[in-house]
Chain A
Amino acid sequence: MIPELGQFALVLALTLSLIQAALPLAGAHYGRSDWMALARPAAAGQFVLVTFAFAILAYAFFTDDFSVRFVAANSHSQLPVAYKFTAVWGGHEGSMLFWLLMLALWTFAVAWGSASQPLELSSRVLGVLGIVSAGILSFTLFTSNPFDRLQPAPFDGNDLNPLLQDPGMLMHPPTLYPGYVGMSVPFAFAVAALLSGRMDKEWARWTRPWTVAAWIFLTIGITLGSWWAYYELGWGGWWFWDAVENASFMPWLMATALIHSLAVTERRGIFKSWTVLLAISAFSLSLLGTFLTRSGVLISVHAFASDPARGAFILMLIALFSGGAFVLYAWRARLMVAEGGFKLLSREAFLLSNNILLVVATGAILLGTLYPLFLRNLDLGEISVGRPYFDFVFSMLMLPLAWLLGVGMHAAWKKVPAEALRRRLMWPAAIAVAFGVTLPWLLFGRASVLTMVGVVTGFWVVASALLDPLARLKRGAKGVGLTRGHWGMLLAHLGVGFFIVGATVTTAYNVETDRAVSPGDRWETAGFEIVFRGTRPVEGPNYVADEGEFELYRGGELLTVLHPQRRQYRVQTAPMTEAGIHASMHRDIFVALGDPLGGGAWAVRVRVKPFIRFVWLGTFVMAFGGLLAATDRRYRQRAKAPAAGLVPAASAREA
Chain B
Amino acid sequence: MPRLVCLLGLLYVAAAAHAETVPTIDDPELNARYQALIREVRCLVCENRSIAESPTDAAQELKRVILDMIVAGKTDAEVAEFLAARYGDSILYRPPVQPNTWALWGGPGALLLLGAYVFARIVRARARQPIEEDDIE
A360–B111 touching, CB < 8 Å: yes
B47–A303 touching, CB < 8 Å: yes
Give every chain A residue within 8 A of B9 (Cβ-Cβ).
Answer: none
Complexed CA–CA distance, A575 and B8 (Å): 11
Q: What is the minimal beta-carbon distance from A257 to any residue of chain B, in angstroms? A: 12
A384–B31 touching, CB < 8 Å: no
Complexed CA–CA distance, A384 and B48 (Å): 9
Q: What is the minimal beta-carbon distance from B47 to any residue of chain A, in angstroms? A: 5
- Asked whether A539 is an interface residue with its Cβ less than 8 Å from the other chain, the reply is no
Q: What is the minimal beta-carbon distance from B73 to any residue of chain A, in angstroms? A: 21
Give every chain B residue within 8 A of A359 (Cβ-Cβ).
Answer: 115
Given known contacts A383-B92, A513-B31, A603-B22, what 10 new A-B pairs fall within 8 Å (CB)?
Answer: A235-B53, A340-B129, A348-B126, A352-B123, A363-B108, A371-B103, A384-B42, A387-B93, A574-B8, A597-B20
B108–A360 touching, CB < 8 Å: yes
Complexed CA–CA distance, A159 and B111 (Å): 47
Contact partner of A594 among B20, B40, B46, B136, CB < 8 A?
B20
Query: Which of A374-382, A552-560, A579-587 forms part of the interface with chain B?
Result: A374-382
Number of chain B residues close to chain A: CB under 8 A: 58
Complexed CA–CA distance, A604 and B127 (Å): 62
A381–B100 touching, CB < 8 Å: yes
**A342 and B131 in contact, given A352-B122, A383-B89 (Cβ under 8 angstroms):** yes
**A201 and B137 in contact, given A360-B108, A387-B39 (Cβ under 8 angstroms):** yes
A360–B50 touching, CB < 8 Å: no
Give every chain A residue within 8 A of B47 (Cβ-Cβ).
Answer: 299-301, 303
Complexed CA–CA distance, A574 and B56 (Å): 12
B136–A652 touching, CB < 8 Å: yes
Give every chain B residue within 8 A of A340 (Cβ-Cβ).
Answer: 126, 129, 135
Query: Please, what's the 1-or-0 string for B94-126, where 1 marks a CB less than 8 Å from any CB in chain A?
Result: 111000110111011001101110110011001
Contact partner of A341 among B8, B108, B126, CB < 8 A?
B126
A598–B16 touching, CB < 8 Å: yes
Give every chain A residue within 8 A of B105 (Cβ-Cβ).
Answer: 389
- Asked whether B90 is an interface residue with its Cβ less than 8 Å from the other chain, the reply is yes
- Asked whether B128 is an interface residue with its Cβ less than 8 Å from the other chain, the reply is yes
Give every chain A residue within 8 A of B35 (Cβ-Cβ).
Answer: 512-513
Give every chain B residue within 8 A of A382 (Cβ-Cβ).
Answer: 88-90
**A388 and B94 in contact, given A340-B126, A356-B119 (Cβ under 8 angstroms):** yes
Contact partner of A343 among B39, B93, B127, B137, CB < 8 A?
B127
Q: Give 7 nearest A-B pairs by CB, closest first.
A: A386-B93, A341-B129, A388-B94, A364-B108, A595-B19, A516-B22, A595-B20
Complexed CA–CA distance, A382 and B44 (Å): 12
A363-408, CB < 8 A from B: 363-364, 367-368, 371-372, 375, 380-389, 393, 396-397
Query: Hey, which bits of chain B sit against chain A, CB under 8 A?
Result: 8, 11, 15-16, 19-20, 22-24, 28, 31-32, 35, 39-40, 42, 46-50, 52-53, 55, 88-96, 100-101, 103-105, 107-108, 111-112, 114-116, 118-119, 122-123, 126-131, 135-137
Give every chain A residue within 8 A of B100 (Cβ-Cβ).
Answer: 375, 380-381, 383
Contact partner of B119 among A240, A242, A352, A597, CB < 8 A?
A352
Q: What is the minimal beta-carbon distance from A299 to any residue of chain B, in angstroms? A: 5
**A344 and B123 in contact, given A268-B135, A652-B136 (Cβ under 8 angstroms):** yes
Where chain B touches its partner, the secondary structure class is: helix
- Asked whether A419 is an interface residue with its Cβ less than 8 Å from the other chain, the reply is no
**A368 and B104 in contact, given A356-B115, A356-B119, A357-B115 (Cβ under 8 angstroms):** yes
Complexed CA–CA distance, A653 and B134 (Å): 12
Complexed CA–CA distance, A386 and B92 (Å): 8
- Asked whether A110 is an interface residue with its Cβ less than 8 Å from the other chain, the reply is no
B128–A341 touching, CB < 8 Å: yes
A342–B126 touching, CB < 8 Å: yes
B93–A388 touching, CB < 8 Å: yes
Complexed CA–CA distance, A415 and B32 (Å): 50
Q: Which among B32, B101, B111, B127 has the greatest number of chain A C-beta atoms within 10 A?
A: B111
B48: nearest residue on chain A (CB-CB)? A299
A270: nearest residue on chain B (CB-CB)? B126
A-B contact pairs, 13 of them (CB 8 A): A301-B47, A342-B131, A344-B123, A344-B127, A352-B122, A356-B115, A363-B108, A382-B88, A383-B101, A389-B93, A515-B22, A596-B19, A603-B22
Contact partner of A235 among B52, B111, B128, CB < 8 A?
B52
Give every chain B residue within 8 A of A575 (Cβ-Cβ).
Answer: 55
A367: nearest residue on chain B (CB-CB)? B107
Q: Which among B22, B24, B103, B112 has the greatest number of chain A C-beta atoms within 10 A?
A: B22
Q: Which among A242, A356, A357, A383 has the greatest number of chain B C-beta atoms within 10 A?
A: A383
- Asked whether A349 is an interface residue with its Cβ less than 8 Å from the other chain, the reply is yes
- Asked whether A353 is an interface residue with its Cβ less than 8 Å from the other chain, the reply is yes
Contact partner of B111 among A364, A389, A604, CB < 8 A?
A364
Give every chain B residue within 8 A of A367 (Cβ-Cβ).
Answer: 103-104, 107-108
B89–A381 touching, CB < 8 Å: yes
B53–A233 touching, CB < 8 Å: yes
Complexed CA–CA distance, A300 and B118 (Å): 35
- Asked whether A243 is an interface residue with its Cβ less than 8 Å from the other chain, the reply is yes
Q: What is the minimal beta-carbon distance from A129 to any residue of chain B, in angstroms? A: 28
Give every chain B residue within 8 A of A385 (Cβ-Cβ).
Answer: 93, 95, 104
A397–B108 touching, CB < 8 Å: yes
B22–A397 touching, CB < 8 Å: no
Complexed CA–CA distance, A360 and B117 (Å): 12
A41-91, CB < 8 A from B: none
Give every chain B residue within 8 A of A397 (Cβ-Cβ).
Answer: 108, 112
Q: What is the minimal beta-carbon distance from B62 to any residue of chain A, in angstroms? A: 14
Give every chain B residue within 8 A of A514 (Cβ-Cβ).
Answer: 20, 22-23
A349–B94 touching, CB < 8 Å: no
A383–B90 touching, CB < 8 Å: yes
Give every chain A residue within 8 A of B96 (Cβ-Cβ).
Answer: 383
Complexed CA–CA distance, A481 and B100 (Å): 57
A243–B48 touching, CB < 8 Å: yes
A254-290, CB < 8 A from B: 268, 270
Give every chain B residue within 8 A of A168 (Cβ-Cβ).
Answer: none
Contact partner of B137 among A348, A363, A364, A652, CB < 8 A?
A652
A408-422, CB < 8 A from B: 414-415
Complexed CA–CA distance, A650 and B117 (Å): 39
